[in-house]
Chain A
């Protein structure tokens, strides 16, 4: 398994678990509720998790972590990024439209925050599928 595929597995697990935690906290308070501290902390944990992962890769796989993606990996990363962008767009556009129509910024915030996690899962999940195809 390539290092990039290992990274994709870890990231999809990280975004999935943290995103699910974020979703639960938002559902508990309701989408129209104010930004939940737990949800914001979850987003911070995801960022810290990414940093820790990068440091671990640099320590245990120094050559591969510093190497640029090869031709096949570049295509996979580009394609997965495209799908992640679409996934993010499907969350952001309705959130913005809802805000314009109703003026409720809380719903917009919560939907965009969740869209970030969905987009992350979509990107790294797509990479895994494309690496294995």
Chain B
């Protein structure tokens, strides 16, 4: 599927799809679900998240 076709399918511009692919923009939850539905998979199959270890909360007892 082309970027333009995906963009049309979820209602954003092709440039937004490019920005999402390159990690320069995090889509809204709604757009994330729309993208997942287009591919017929779950959101976590399409998107991932690397926890920033510098900001990880410390565990206090």
Quick one: closest A residue to B14, CB to CB? A2
Give the residues from 1 to 41 in chain B that come closer than 8 angstroms, CB to CB, to chain A. Answer: 11-16, 19, 24-25, 27-28, 31
Pick the most buried of B15, B16, B24: most chain A CB atoms within 10 A of its CB: B15
Q: For B16, give its contact among A1, A64, A70, A133 (CB under 8 Å).
A: A70
Residues on B with beta carbons closer than 8 Å to the beta carbon of A2: 13-15
Chain B interface SS verdict (over half):
loop
Number of B positions contacting A (CB below 8 A): 12
- Cβ–Cβ contact A70 & B13, under 8 A: yes
Residues on A with beta carbons closer than 8 Å to the beta carbon of B19: 72
Q: Is A131 an interface residue (CB 8 A)?
A: yes
- Cβ–Cβ contact B24 & A70, under 8 A: no
Q: For B27, give its contact among A64, A71, A131 (CB under 8 Å).
A: A71
Interface residues of A (CB under 8 A from B): 1-2, 5, 64, 70-73, 131, 133
* Across the A-B interface, the 7 shortest Cβ-Cβ residue pairs: A70-B12, A2-B15, A72-B16, A2-B13, A71-B28, A70-B13, A72-B25
Q: Assuming A2-B15, A72-B19, what are 9 further A-B pairs, CB within 8 angstroms?
A: A1-B15, A64-B13, A71-B16, A71-B28, A71-B31, A72-B16, A72-B25, A73-B16, A133-B24
